[in-house]
Amino acid sequence: MKIETTNLLALACLPAFIAIALAQPFESRQSSLPQGATAHRDLAYVSGGHERQKLDLYLPKDGTNLPLIINIHGGAFKMGSKEQGVPLEYLRQGYAVASINYRLSQHAKFPAQIEDCKAAVRWLRAHAAEYRIDPNRFAAWGSSAGGHLAAMLGTTGDAKEFDVGANLDQSSRVQAVVDYFGPTDFLQMDAHRLPSGMAHDPANSPESELIGGAIQENKEKAAKANPITYITPGDPPFLICHGDADPLVPHHQSELLEAALKQASVPVTFHTVKGAGHGGFKDPKVPELTGEFLAKHLKPIKSTP
């Protein structure tokens, strides 16, 4: 994973165990590109935009009307890159995979990050025919900060306020969400964090830096950045996976999301990884549930490896 200079400075200011966790890829999902697959790198989804407004698109050798997995990297909203945790193994199962960069909190404050994710989704839909993608079968998948943004894509599909820029004739909705331990209600994080876990209320926390001020002193801004705020009955199905010993994003954050989705009658599967921290899951149930969830809601077309 590439870490920019500004990211290294940010890491130096964090407690050691947190800095180590954030510097590592959250899930070891990276695999080699299958034979015959094609990689289209650094595609600008905003014409003449920020250097971070680019994506990589991976296509299997064969198949048309391919379902698409959109990978959104984590990194506390202040680090990480589109090379991180890309689930290339799904190319062998007939999926296309896109992995996106977005502006980080040192580049722009919220809602820039979700605006970028939505711009990427609209760009992918606008170019679906060119890349053999089915525009009606998109899944967002992310871990930690990426899980937050995947969840935001899922819950803001019917909210127009974050759709800005080009390709506004295209929808920014996704048809499924895989959220690995993403924050969902910033204001409740510290009330449920582990005793030795990261504090989120201070002005230098990832969430505070994202919105441009201490979250408890900017409750309106914080609420606007919460995926839970936007849940409606028409939202896509969710798969949530979270370790119950997570020192960075409290497990309670996913409990809140599950409860809110259920209350709105949105299909949701929530899997707790017993004893697990911030990713690095060794529980075989996680990839099993993820594969089944994507197959159920995107119905992939088999292609030749």
pLDDT in tens, 246-271: 999 999 999 999 999 999 999 999 99
pLDDT along the chain (305 residues), means of 10: 37 44 45 90 97 98 96 97 96 97 98 98 98 98 98 96 97 98 98 96 98 98 98 98 98 98 98 97 97 92 53
Instruction: Look at residue 190 and tell me if it is in a domain.
Output: yes
Instruction: Look at residue 305 and tell me if it is in a domain.
Output: no
Instruction: Look at residue 171 and tell me if it is in a domain.
Output: yes
Instruction: For residue 163, give the 3-state DSSP assignment.
Output: coil
Distance, CA of 20 to CA of 16 (rounded, Å): 6
Instruction: Look at residue 236 and tell me if it is in a domain.
Output: yes
Instruction: Look at residue 48 and tell me if it is in a domain.
Output: yes
Instruction: Look at residue 14 and tell me if it is in a domain.
Output: yes
Instruction: Look at residue 304 and tell me if it is in a domain.
Output: no
User: What CATH number should be reported for the domain holding residue 290?
Assistant: 3.40.50.1820
Total structural domains in the chain?
Answer: 1
Distance, CA of 257 to CA of 182 (rounded, Å): 10
Instruction: Note the pLDDT of residue 51.
Output: 97
* Whole-number CA gyration radius for the chain: 18
Instruction: Note the pLDDT of residue 299.
Output: 81
Instruction: Look at residue 303 and tell me if it is in a domain.
Output: no
Tokens encoding 17? 């165990």
Distance, CA of 146 to CA of 181 (rounded, Å): 9
Domain range for residue 202? Answer: 5-298
